[in-house]
Amino acid sequence: MIKPLAMAAAALLLYAGTRPETFRVERSITVTAPAGTVLPLIDDFHQWARWSLWEKTGPAIRRTYSDAASGKGAGYE
């Protein structure tokens, strides 16, 4: 019983050694709303709390915004 288990483990390790060290996961979604409705929610970081799931992960989350409210130069952390 140990020999087949050891062989399976060795085969798994050999296979894992042939795989790339990095990988990438991508997701996409189709939004069926006019761009004029969606863009203001994405362009202005102050609006992200309305739709971003990450904003809801911690009730005590603190946000810091840059001087620009939206568009080029806007920042958020």
- DSSP string computed for the chain: -HHHHHHHHHHHHHHHHHS-S-----------S-HHHHHHHHHBGGGGGGT-GGGGS-TT----B-SB-BSTTB-B-
**What residue ranges do the domains of the chain occupy?**
2-56
pLDDT for the residue 53: 83
Mean pLDDT by runs of 10 across the 77 residues of the chain is 85 90 89 91 87 80 85 86
pLDDT for the residue 11: 92
The verdict on pTM exceeding 0.85 is: no
pLDDT for the residue 1: 64
Q: Tokens for 20? A: 């790339």
